Amino acid sequence: MKTIMITGASGQIGSELTARLRQLYGAQHVIATDIMPDRSGVGQDEGPFELLDVNDQRAIYDVARHYKADTIIHLAALLSATAEKSPLFAWHLNMGGLINALETAKELGCRFFTPSSIGVFGPASPKDATPQVTVQRPVTMYGINKVAGELLCDYYYAKFGVDTRGLRFPGLISYLTPPGGGTTDYAVEMFFEAVRSGAYTSFIGPGTFMDMMYMPDAIDAIVTLMETDSAQLVNRNAYNVSAMSFDPELLAAEIRRTIPDFRLAYQVDPVRQQIAESWPNQLDISAAREEWGFKPSFTLERMARDMLCHIAAGPG
Ligand code: AKB
């Protein structure tokens, strides 16, 4: 990767990825784009930034060509809970943005990354040790978009030779930029409320296990996958990745090691609960490990200590 254009660069993954890639490749070689200016202050203080709507195919192409991008990281998308509220809008944004970015990659010969999600699985997929290759019949608009996106990326690779790559991300946890509109967001909220008020009311019910990963491991995974020799990648779109699996009770117990009085209550949101129940408990990540050496370093215990310590220290 030499010159990398990122869409959705002001979001949860984008703001931290932009900062990291700028450290690795130089600020001028990472072009941050988003429909909104950066909210976090994490990534875009130095280096190029362009306001960009991914529905505008010409604009994506023009920015990529102007900066001579050789890599496109397409992150702009609606997450699961928001997509369930506005399915038609989600279809247009998630699928339209992806095909516009893929077209630019095809025209300019760029390497391409876009995240997939545990949301590609549905009630018919095995719940535990969910295999890399298995039944994918999601029951959410987000999941449908992500499965179609994986297939589209396979198609652009097979048909046009675009070097597409992807990861099926679990819930991503970070103290820097908040997620928005996801089903796994409860975990991030719980950390912040534990420090702020010592109590949290979860919209996901007890006993609902989902895969999770700390943001530094997610960023490392993107960088490692993008640096891997293309010939090594068999399951390129997209790899199961995860570092841990927990339910609200287990996370609360971990938080109590640092904040013993922490109180957890429940007010389950039926929409997000139904989404969560349609997703796996825990993925099999062996394909990512074997094909490009995926190795997350944060366990639940280590992540919880780090999150609580940073949140307590405050911004900056
Ligand atoms: C969401 O909850 O929608 C995302 C995801 C797992 O893709 N965090």
211-257 pLDDT per residue, tens = 999 999 999 999 999 999 999 999 999 999 999 999 999 999 999 99
- Higher pLDDT among residues 315 and 293, named by residue: 293
Residues 6+ apart with CB under 8 A from 45: none
Give the pLDDT mean for 17-36.
95
Mutate-to-test residue for ligand 1 from 85, 142, 282, highest number of ligand atoms within 8 A of CB: 142
237 pocket-lining for ligand 1 (C-beta < 6 Å): no
Percentage of the residues of the chain whose pLDDT score is greater than 90: 94
Give the pLDDT mean for 65-80.
97
Residue 314 has what pLDDT? 84
Give me the residue label for tokens 């960088």: 223
243 CA distance to ligand 1 centroid (A)? 15
d(CA 54, CA 7): 7
For the CA of 172, the closest atom of ligand 1 is 8
- Which of these is catalytic: 25, 67, 142, 175? 142
Assigned CATH topology for domain 173-211+243-288+297-313? UDP-galactose 4-epimerase; domain 1 (3.90.25)
Phi and psi at residue 297, in whole multiples of 5°?
-110, -10
d(CA 104, CA 44): 23
pLDDT in tens, 41-58: 555 568 999 999 999 999
d(CA 112, CA 215): 20
118 pocket-lining for ligand 1 (C-beta < 6 Å): yes
Give the pLDDT mean for 60-78.
97
d(CA 253, CA 70): 45
CATH 3.90.25 domain residues, the chain: 173-211+243-288+297-313
For the CA of 184, the closest atom of ligand 1 is 2
Give the pLDDT mean for 255-272.
97
d(CA 218, CA 188): 15
172 CA distance to ligand 1 centroid (A)? 8
Give the pLDDT mean for 112-138.
98
Structure pTM? Answer: 0.96
Query: Is 142 among the residues known to form the active site?
Result: yes
- Higher pLDDT among residues 12 and 42, named by residue: 12
List the one residue out of 71, 207, 203, 86 whose CA is nearest residue 145.
86
27 burial via Cβ count (<10 Å: 0-12, 13-18, 19+): middle
Query: Residues 99-114, buried b or exposed e (16+ Cβ, 10 A)?
Result: ebbbbbbbebebbbbb
148 CA distance to ligand 1 centroid (A)? 16
Residue 180 has what pLDDT? 83
Token digits of residue 302: 């280590």
28 CA distance to ligand 1 centroid (A)? 31
Residue 45 has what pLDDT? 64
Give the pLDDT mean for 274-289.
97
Give me the residue label for tokens 């506005």: 86
pLDDT in tens, 95-112: 999 999 999 999 999 999
Which CATH superfamily does the domain covering 4-170+214-240 fall into? NAD(P)-binding Rossmann-like Domain (3.40.50.720)
Counting runs of H as helices and runs of E as strands, what totals does the chain give? 12, 16
Residue 177 has what pLDDT? 84
CATH 3.40.50.720 domain residues, the chain: 4-170+214-240
Please report which confidence band the pLDDT of residue 1 belongs to, taking 50, 70 and 90 as the band edges: low
pLDDT in tens, 160-200: 999 999 999 999 999 998 878 999 999 999 999 999 999 99
d(CA 23, CA 7): 18
d(CA 266, CA 122): 24
- Higher pLDDT among residues 36 and 310, named by residue: 310
For the CA of 80, the closest atom of ligand 1 is 3
67 CA distance to ligand 1 centroid (A)? 31
143 pocket-lining for ligand 1 (C-beta < 6 Å): no
3-state secondary structure 126-187: CCEEECCCCCCCCCCHHHHHHHHHHHHHHHHHHHHCCCEECEEECEEECCCCCCCCCCCHHH
